[in-house]
Amino acid sequence: MIDATPHVAALWWAVVASGLYHGVNPGMGWPLAVSSALMEREYSSLYKALLALAGGHLLAMALVLLPFSALLWLADWQREIQIGAACLVIALGVYLLINRRHPRFLSRVPPSRLALWSFLAAMAHGAGLMLVPIYLGICGTLETDAGHAAAYDLMQTHGGIAIVVALLHTLAMTVAGGALALGVYHWLGLAFLSKGWFNLDIVWALSLILVGGLSLFALH
C-alpha cells in the first residue's frame, strides 16, 4: 500500500509533468508524426505514427525502470541505490551539456520504423533515466516492512509500480505531443517544421541535472 501524502502525490504529478515535457520536446518525435501524415496525405497516418512513437517510448521507459525494481528487494541498500541512480542522471545531464551532437544512428533508422526510432531516441537521450529518481521516491513510500517481506513480493510490487509509472508517463507524453502534432498538421504545416523548430537540448540536459540533484537533496 502507498502512503497517501502530499509528497507521494507530488511524485505522481512529477511522472505526469515529465511525460508532458517529453511530449512537447520535438526530440521525442512528434514532428515525425506530422511529416508522416502530410507526406502520405492521410489523416489516420498521424494517429498511427503517434501510437508507434508511444509504443517505442513505453518500451524504453519499462526497460530502464524494471532493472531498478529488481534491485529494490535489497532493502538494506535502497538508499545507496537511490544515490547511485541520482548520480547517474546528473552525469548524463552533464554529458549532454558538453556533447550537443545528436546520435548519428538515429538518422539511419527508416522513417517507416517510428516505434524503433522512438525507443532508440528515448534511450539515447536518457528519457527513462529521468524517471528513475521519481520512481525510486514513490517506491520509498511503500508501507511495507521490507526487511521481512519476501523478495518475490517486493519485486512484484515494485515491478507493478514501474509499469504504472511508465504507462502514465507515456500517456502524458502522447497527449502533449499529439496536441502539438494536431495543431501543426491542421494549421501550420511542414513550413513550421522547417522554420519553427525549437531546440530544447540545453533545457533537457539541465532538467536531468535538476531531477538528479533534487533526488539527492530529498535523501537528506
Q: What share of the chain is helix, strand, coil (3-state, %, to 5)?
A: 80, 0, 20
Q: What's the rounded Cα separation, in Å, for the pair 186 and 167?
A: 28
Q: Tell me the pLDDT band of 148, cut-offs 50, 70 and 90.
A: very low
Alpha carbon distances (Å) from 122 to 30, 105, 108: 13, 13, 16
pLDDT for the residue numbered 203: 79
pLDDT for the residue numbered 1: 43
Q: What is the mean pLDDT of residues 27-47?
A: 83
Residues constituting the chain: 220
Of the listed ranges 23-32, 92-101, 111-120, the least confidently predicted one is 92-101
**How large a percentage of the chain has pLDDT more than 70?**
76
pLDDT for the residue numbered 199: 59
pLDDT for the residue numbered 102: 61
Q: What's the pLDDT tens digit per position in 62-95?
A: 999 988 887 766 656 777 778 888 888 899 888 8
pTM of the model: 0.82
Assess whether pLDDT exceeds 90 at residue 110. no
**How large a percentage of the chain has pLDDT more than 90?**
21
pLDDT for the residue numbered 56: 94
Q: What's the pLDDT tens digit per position in 154-200?
A: 667 778 899 999 999 999 999 999 999 998 888 776 666 665 555 56
Domains in the chain: boundaries: 6-218
CA atoms within 13 A on the CB side of 89: 30
CA 25 to chain CA centroid, Å, is: 11
pLDDT for the residue numbered 198: 56
Neighbouring CB atoms inside 10 A of 128's CB total 21
User: Which range is most confident: 12-16, 25-29, 105-109?
Assistant: 12-16
